[in-house]
Amino acid sequence: MGTLLIGLDGACRDVLDPLLDADRLPTLSGLFERGVVGPLESQIPPWTPSAWPSLYTGVNPGKHGAFDFLAFDGYDWDLVNRTHVRAHALWELLDHHGLSSVVVNVPVTGPPRQFDGALVPGYVSPERPTCHPEGLLDRIEDELGEYRVYAPEGVDGDEQVAWYRRLVEMRGEAFRLLADEFDPEFGFLQFQQTDTVFHERPEDDEAVRTVFEAVDEQLERTLDACDPDRVIVASDHGIGPYEGAEFRVNEYLAEQGYLRTTSGEGGMPSWSAIVRDEESSTPSLAERAVGLASAVGLSSQRIGAALEALGLKEFVLDHVSRGTVRAGTERVDFPESAAYMRSRTELGVRLNKAGRDPDGVVAPAEYPSVRSDLIATLEAARTPDGDPVFAEVAPAEEYFSGPYVDEAVDLLTVPAGFDHMLSASLRGEAFAAADEWNHKPAGIVAAAGDGVDAAAGLSDAHLFDVAPTVLASLGVAPSTRMDGEPLPPVTPVAPESYPPFEARIDRSTDADVTRRLSRLGYIDDNEY
């Protein structure tokens, strides 16, 4: 193996340093000591479903087209998948030069495209993903036993921690099995649990140690088995505590007159809406009553606010079904709104533009002034403590370029210090306390081995630089379309043009995956 790329979702110095200082990660520590390591600036938005495609294509979301966990078509939505990523992955460019690859657990890689090698998709794929070549998953399970993308639903406590370790082990075992069979020039092994543990158990030091020690162990075994000439380690973003406010953008937009709400069907995506579509039971009397109440303006959010004021909210929720609450959920009325946040992990606001969106209300001639006014309105947002909510509110084209910019939000909303949690939910109040861990914009990158100049700096490394760096490390030209360039520790190779990417879009909505994303806080669920 020439180059092994190790992906650590959410890893950053704040997370790694305490473990390194305690000698918990000897393999990773050894790579850092004999190579070069530095911060890796993520993109905006710094979330898994857009950042990993940017890392493996070397282009910004405006060029590859994946901006979020959800892909939108008008006001309709779908879970993102590889077909929404409309750019060549680096292993497909390697295939163009006759080099083979093995790729395991990288997010947003299914359904796979054809190339010389093997690929097992990771995050946002169904539990039994389509692999490349066909039948690969069955072969893996024949050799190794059960292989899962996700832990079983409903596990918690010690069982949940045990599943963190088992999932990490599954990645390493599958990768080594395939590397032995396919003998690739390039390998890409990604670990997702390094992020998941902070979403589910952020204050559990033992769980965090378990995950990272398991990753370090699998890294050691993989280095021993594959003996790569060089190793590159990269994360898609960092992670840390959010200690500011939760800012419900759509509530604020409604207060400012940009957004209207409705009840019942439609509105913001939520896994509960999918569940409702699949349920066939007749609504209870209570569900019908709440549904009728919502039709005259008494949504479950407003009912909840009233009950909370009377000190009765918890009592009622203990005695009322989720279906009852869901029946009266207030939602964004897309066609009647001038602007809205579709999904919080898009990290921005979309204008309802006539001629572009199905029922657009913002005329093209008015679009520049409406967007300018909206930027000023959002810049003026202050937390209850009087602090700015946003470090920057900017037109999308300041961050994105390429043929798919029009599919993105119209303006990006960058939280101040990445310390405020943005939400697309409607809960009756614009602000709430934020007390959780989530994504930060600074990840980590490291390189060691043959051809790596350990004296070279990594002070300006960006997510877009990873793909061209991997290609250059193998003597392969990056694409002229790439926004990044080889990092200084690797000898650069002049870019070249590659054949156009042939795109197709496949729908892939999966209720189980969407429900998991909701539990991790990636998709807003408009329920109490």
pLDDT for 261-276, tens place per residue? 987 655 554 433 333 3
Residue ranges making up the domain that contains 289: 271-328
Q: Is the same domain home to 299 and 249?
A: no
- Percent of the chain past pLDDT 70, that is, above it, reads 83
Predicted local distance difference test score (pLDDT) of residue 146: 96
Residue 527 included in any domain: no
> Tokens 């991790």 appear where?
520
CA 114 from chain centre, in angstroms, equals: 24
Whether 408 and 486 share a structural domain: no
Q: Give the residue from 391, 414, 434 where a domain finishes.
A: 434
Overall domain count for the chain: 3
In this structure, the strands spanning 3-8 and 230-234 are parallel
Say yes or no: 41 and 143 in one domain.
yes
Q: Is residue 526 part of a domain?
A: no
**For position 238, which CATH number holds?**
3.40.720.10
- State yes or no: pLDDT of 239 exceeds 90: yes
For residue 524, being part of any structural domain is answered with no
Of 310, 345, 309, 305, nearest to 328 (Cα)? 305
Reference 245, options 411, 379, 386; nearest CA is 386
Asked if 237 and 283 sit in the same domain, the reply is: no
Work out the pLDDT band at 509, boundaries 50, 70, 90.
low
Same domain, 26 and 147: yes
Q: What φ, ψ does residue 61 adopt, rounded to 5°?
A: -60, -25
Average pLDDT over the chain, rounded to an integer: 88
pLDDT band at 428 (very low <50, low <70, confident <90, very high): confident
Q: How far apart are CA 225 and CA 221, in angstroms?
A: 6
Asked which of 415, 434, 453 is the last residue of a domain, the reply is 434
Domain assignment present for residue 299? The answer is yes
State whether 398 and 449 are in the same domain: no
Is residue 71 predicted with pLDDT exceeding 70? yes
**Spatial CB neighbours of 11, under 8 Å, sequence gap ≥ 6:** 194, 235, 238, 239, 443, 444
Q: Does 307 lie in the same domain as 191?
A: no
Average pLDDT over residues 79-100: 97
The pLDDT confidence band at residue 399, using thresholds 50, 70 and 90, is very high
322: phi > 0 → left, psi -120 to 50 → alpha, else beta; which? alpha
Inform me whether the pLDDT recorded for 507 exceeds 90: no
Q: How many CB atoms lie within 10 A of CB 459?
A: 7
Are residue 458 and residue 426 in the same domain, yes or no? no
Same domain, 481 and 389: no
Domain shared by 197 and 259, yes or no: no
384 in a structural domain: yes
For residue 19, is pLDDT > 60? yes
* Alpha-carbon distance values, 279 to 133, 283, 511, 524 (Å): 36, 10, 12, 20
Percent of the chain with pLDDT over 90: 77
Among 434, 450, 474, where does a domain finish? 434
Residue from 170, 166, 158, 151 nearest 207 by CA: 158
pLDDT tens-digit profile of 305-355?
555 565 655 555 555 555 455 445 678 899 999 999 999 999 999 999 999
**Assigned token pair, 464:** 């877009």
Omega before 45 within 30 of 0, i.e. cis: yes
The CA angle 236-77-132, to the nearest 5 degrees, is 55
Mean pLDDT of 380-399: 97
Is the residue at 47 inside a domain?
yes
For residue 464, which of 434, 486, 489, 446 has the smallest C-alpha distance?
Answer: 486
Is 525 contained in some domain? no
Q: Nearest to residue 185, comparing CAs of 56, 99, 105?
A: 99
- Within a domain: residue 504? yes
Provide the pLDDT confidence category of residue 436 given band limits of 50, 70 and 90.
confident
> CA 259, CA 303: separation in Å to the nearest integer?
20
Q: Which of 63, 94, 111 is nearest to 188 (CA)?
A: 94
| Tokens at 166, concatenated | 């088992």
Same domain, 284 and 169: no
Tell me which residue of 337, 341, 338 sits closest to 409, measured CA to CA: 341
Q: The pTM is what?
A: 0.88
Which letter does DSSP use for residue 282 in this model?
P
Does one domain contain both 85 and 168?
Answer: yes
pLDDT of residue 474: 98
